[in-house]
């Protein structure tokens, strides 16, 4: 794992290995990069590659491989993050990531000026409230509600309509608190979808323990809701301002 906090990096950041000539670098599992701008400024002058590279001599057969997935996580404050480069879920020249490529914003507040590339999953978690200067369309957008403060239930994770968009026939993933599920009703504002076509999306519900609870077409999730093992019904709704909301009613029947 690479962790950046209270630092200034003038060049490129890699999550995988950096190989030379005919050398080969292999990361057996996943690569992870954590960028924490919560206490002091973090400056990154180059791009961020979740994989590695063999940039000069790939023609000699060298390579850098990550056999698992990759994840780049941003936390803290946009005002303390000086970065406007590319976040690439893959590697650079002769660098590859075999698994799912993800970017997460966990307890991130403010504007993000980076440009996402080769990202399969965008996750918004914790008490994140943000905007992104460069829009990105993801095949999966995940909202992790398991650690979000109820005080922020009326505030969108993403405060504008253009930052993140769903791919056609994409996935909306929701993570619920496994321990707290069924203890009471809740409503969380998620994302401004006033510019979105939601038809064809699949909704997948997971517990914070990692197990999938249920899945349904978004039309069913909005019209009748999704029953969760007798604990209640999860549903989605869009308010008059175009905000997508996640709702749970304890003990209700779909």
Q: Are residues 51 and 168 in the same domain?
A: no
At which residue do the structure tokens 């690439």 appear?
A: 88
| Contacts of residue 122, Cβ cutoff 8 Å, sequence gap at least 6 | 102, 103, 104, 105, 116, 136, 138, 140, 141, 142, 164
Assign residue 194 a region: left if phi > 0, alpha if psi is -120 to 50, beta otherwise? Answer: alpha
Contact (CB, 8 A) for 129 and 160: no
Range of the domain at 177: 120-254
Q: Are residues 18 and 139 in the same domain?
A: no
pLDDT, one tens digit per residue, over 24-78 is 899 999 999 999 999 899 999 999 999 999 876 656 778 899 999 999 999 999 9
Q: State which H helix or E strand residue 236 sits in.
A: strand 232-238
Q: Are residues 99 and 132 in the same domain?
A: no
Mean pLDDT of the chain: 93
Q: Are residues 107 and 5 in the same domain?
A: yes
Contact (CB, 8 A) for 74 and 94: no
Contact (CB, 8 A) for 79 and 118: no
Q: Are residues 57 and 132 in the same domain?
A: no
Looking at residue 58, what is its pLDDT? Answer: 58
Contact (CB, 8 A) for 146 and 177: yes
Q: Are residues 248 and 134 in the same domain?
A: yes
| Contacts of residue 197, Cβ cutoff 8 Å, sequence gap at least 6 | none
pLDDT, one tens digit per residue, over 185-208 is 999 999 999 988 899 999 999 999
What is the total count of domains within the chain?
Answer: 2
| Contacts of residue 19, Cβ cutoff 8 Å, sequence gap at least 6 | 25, 52, 53, 54, 62, 63, 64, 94
Q: Are residues 109 and 139 in the same domain?
A: no
Q: Are residues 8 and 52 in the same domain?
A: yes
pLDDT, one tens digit per residue, over 118-174 is 999 999 999 999 999 999 999 999 999 999 999 999 999 998 888 999 998 899 999
- Output the CA–CA distances (angstroms, integers) from residue 205 to 34, 100, 159, 192, 233, in the order listed: 25, 18, 23, 20, 11
């Amino acid at each position: 794992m690479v962790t950046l906090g209270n630092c200034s990096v003038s060049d490129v950041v890699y999550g995988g290995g950096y190989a030379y000539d005919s050398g080969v670098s292999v990361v057996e599992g996943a690569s992870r990069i954590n960028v924490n701008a919560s206490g002091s400024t973090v400056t990154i002058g180059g791009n961020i590659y979740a994989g590695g590279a063999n940039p000069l001599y790939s023609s000699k057969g060298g390579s850098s491989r990550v056999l698992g997935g990759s994840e780049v996580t941003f936390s803290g404050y946009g005002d303390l993050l000086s970065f406007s480069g590319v976040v690439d879920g893959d590697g650079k020249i002769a660098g590859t990531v075999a698994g799912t490529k993800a970017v997460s914003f966990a307890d991130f507040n403010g504007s993000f000026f980076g440009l996402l590339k080769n990202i399969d999953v965008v996750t918004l978690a914790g008490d994140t409230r943000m905007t992104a200067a460069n829009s990105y369309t993801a095949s999966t957008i995940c909202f992790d509600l398991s650690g979000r403060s109820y005080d922020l239930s009326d505030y969108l994770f993403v405060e504008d309509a253009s930052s993140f968009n769903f791919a056609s026939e994409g996935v909306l993933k929701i993570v619920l608190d496994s321990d707290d599920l069924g203890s009471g009703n809740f409503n969380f504002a998620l994302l401004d979808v006033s510019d979105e076509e939601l038809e064809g999306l699949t909704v997948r519900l997971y517990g914070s323990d990692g197990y999938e609870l249920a899945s349904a077409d978004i039309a069913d999730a909005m019209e009748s809701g999704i029953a969760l093992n007798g604990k209640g019904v999860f549903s989605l709704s869009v308010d008059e301002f175009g905000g997508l909301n996640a709702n749970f009613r304890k003990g209700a029947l779909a």
